[in-house]
Structure 1
Amino acid sequence: MIPALLLLLIALLMACLALFIVFRVLRNPTTSRVLNRLAQGQPQPAPHLGGLLWLDRAFLQAGLPRPSERLRLWLGLWLGLWLGAMLLAGLAGGWMAVLACLLLPPLCLKLYLSWRYHRQVRRMVEQLPPLLDHAVRSLKAGRTLADAVLNAIDASSDPLKTALGRVSRNVQLGVSLPEAVQDVAELYEREEFRLFALGLKVNQRYGGNASELLENLITLIREREQGARQLKAMTGETRFTAMVLAVLPLLVLVYFMFTNPAYLPKMWSDASGQHLLLTALAMQVIGCFTLWRMVRSV
């Protein structure tokens, strides 16, 4: 008994000593300065946005006007309509209808904004190499880097022109060009814009041939786009198989509704049938999510 207590006491003392050393290391100003130097230049995570700020960011990414002001004016009306729809759904279809009315509108809004965002960003990335090529020609004509980029933005077309209009406005307000492009890159969260901002920052700090830098960036973006298209073509069969497997249970459900309309209502009226249908719905959701993650990892 005594050796075990001694071992326990030694373990506690060693644990206290380890915590003390960790505390001293973290409080050491020299260590703090070293950690701060190592953290310089590292990408910082985007701050978490909640509420209307997150909604504003999502609408801006999708190329839509900010909804915050209108939501503040009409928030009570929208909430009233939403609660009224949930009440009517509960009276007509039970708690499942209430749950559907509660979850479907935000989910549909999220899916719509995500679809708009990906379509918008894909078109912007396709328009970025011509914009950089225009800037290269302006540089070779004798313009400065900032003038060449701003002139290329003015000569571009939507949606890239509207998105990079933030760069022109920020530069007119006194923000440096690399920081203005970095702001757009963090808004749309694309590596192509981050590379563009990094190239401008390196050129501003260390100098060099700006036209050669932009030409290399054009080549890199086009190679990335070509590689993405090749990968999409190579994984087309996998994605199509996942789509068929995800839609097949829904097609079977539609088939039952047309061939035997009374089958599912009778099954839903029974307690065990409700459990089976809810289990099938949960398995369908889990299966679709799993297939989506598998396709995204290819």
Structure 2
Amino acid sequence: MIPALILLLLAVLMFGLGLFIVFHVMRDPATSRVLDRLAEGQPQSGAKAVGVAWLDRAFLQAGLGRPSERLGLWIGLWAGVITVAGLLGGWSFFIASVLLPPLLLRVFISWRYHRRVRRMVEQLPQLLDHCVRSLKAGRTLADAVLLAIEASSDPLKTGISRVSRNVQLGVSLPDAVQDFAQLYEREEFRLFALGLRVNHRYGGNASELLENLIVLIRERDQGARQLKAMTGETRITAIVLGVLPILLLAYFSLTNPGYLPKLWNDSAGQHLLLAALAMQVMGSLALWRMVRSV
């Protein structure tokens, strides 16, 4: 039983490595470096949230509200499930009840956050276009942004409404938008906040700035779609590479339960498994480099 659990853990780790390639390969560190240089001299964000504050932040990013009010109840239910699983199912169910709930919760929050923020980025050019029309009608930049927020639709309206609340509490518009950008951690929002801060400090044509920002966001979206199409085959290969060890382990466990323990207890079998693990890691790294080089 223990060798099978060890092999299952290795397979899950390889699957996680494949998912890491899929979800993180599209990031552009060069863009982040440019934004960091542009933001030099501006107020910096605080330290990353930890503990319950981190959980609140993750739930807010995913549009699920604050969980801290019901955190004690959820922890109590989780502890009850762990206790029942340990008493009735043994060590395997105990370990599964300890590891699976937080893992599944993390995956769900991450999936919901990425889906939500992608939709928000798609709606951002419409909000900026509304701001441009209001500016050309003679309104101030702050009024134009607040009116555009009111006219926007969900999920962007729900997320960016914190800007309106902060402005009503006396926070300046650039600082309020900066807070919004720091919460959702997307370059498009950071560019929006940086543009407002630069305009607030040095002046200039706000409508022209927002029009250029609209063009930039749409070009970034088009480039991301093209890159996704170009790397589709490699990403599918990464998924297959990550899923294959788990499928093989499940197949051998169902068809021949004694095969894997015998393989693990044999010295030659251990060498073969370690060699397979090393090749799995090297293949995953090679795929990661291939996609990054596009």
Normalised by the length of structure 1, the TM-score is 0.74
- Mark the CA change 1:284 to 1:68 in structure 2 (over 3 Å): closer, same or farther: farther
The CA deviation at 1:132 is: 0.1
Change (3 A) 1:40 1:245: closer
Structure 1 residue 207: Cα displacement: 1.1
AA at the equivalent of 1:159:
P
The percentage of counterpart residues that share the same residue type is 65
The answer on whether the counterparts of 1:132 and 1:218 sit within 8 Å (CA) in structure 2 is yes
Task: Show the counterpart of 1:247.
Answer: 243
Match of 2:82 in 1: 82
Q: SS where residue 50 of structure 2 aligns?
A: coil
- Please identify runs of 4+ aligned residues in structure 1 that moved more than 6 A: 277-285
Please give the alpha-carbon distance, in whole angstroms, between the structure 1 residues aligned to 2:282 and 2:198. Answer: 46
**RMSD of Structure 2 on Structure 1 (CA):** 3.1
2: distance between equivalents of 1:99 and 1:287?
29
Structure 1 counterpart of 2:66 = 66
Aligned-pair distance for 1:272? 1.3
Give the length in aligned residue pairs. Answer: 253
Contact 1:185 1:197 in 2 (8 A): yes
What is residue 257 of structure 2 aligned with on the other side? 264
Equivalent position of 2:53 in the other structure: 53
The aligned counterpart of 2:226 is 230
Match of residue 137 from structure 2: 141
**CA, structure 1 residues 295+62, in 2 after alignment: closer, same or farther (shift >3 Å)?**
farther
Q: Which residue of 2 aligns with 1:168?
A: 164
Instruction: Quote the Cα distance in structure 1 between the aligned partners of 2:277 and 2:52.
Output: 31
Provide Cα deviations, 1:12-68, integer angstroms capped at 9, x if missing partner. xxxxxxxxxxxxxxxxxxxxxxxxxxx961573641322211111111111111110
Amino acid paired to 2:236: F
Report if the CA contact (8 A) 1:86-1:102 is conserved. no
**5+ residue gaps, structure 1:** 1-38
Whether contact under 8 Å (2:252, 2:259) holds in the other structure is no
Superposed CA deviations along residues 196-228 of structure 1, whole A, max 9, x for unmatched, are 111111111111111001001101111111111
CA offset at residue 237 of structure 1? 1.4
Q: Map 1:167-246 to 2 at 5 A.
A: 167-246=163-242
TM-score (norm 2): 0.75
Q: Which residue of 1 aligns with 2:44?
A: 44
Distance 1:100 1:283 in 2: 26
Task: Find the counterpart in structure 1 of residue 14 from structure 2.
Answer: none
Counterpart Cα distance in 1 of 2:66 and 2:279:
35
C-alpha distance 152-245 of structure 1, shift in aligned 2 (>3 A): same
- For residues 88 and 293 of structure 1, the distance between their equivalents in structure 2, rounded to whole angstroms, comes to 43
The Cα of 1:70 is off from its aligned counterpart by: 0.7
In structure 1, distance between residues paired with 2:117 and 2:279: 30
* Structure 1 Cα separation of the partners of residues 45 and 203 of structure 2: 28
Question: Is the 8 Å Cα contact of residues 131 and 156 (structure 1) preserved in structure 2?
Answer: yes
1:104 aligns with 2:104: no
The answer for the alignment partner of 2:22 in structure 1 is none
Higher mean C-alpha displacement, 239-248 vs 79-88: 79-88
- What is the DSSP-based 3-state SS (H/G/I as helix, E as strand, rest coil) of the residue aligned with 1:158? coil
Instruction: Say whether the 8 Å CA contact 1:134–1:152 is kept in structure 2.
Output: yes
Q: Give, in angstroms, the shift of residue 287 of structure 1.
A: 7.2
CA deviation after TM superposition for structure 1 residue 230, in Å: 1.0
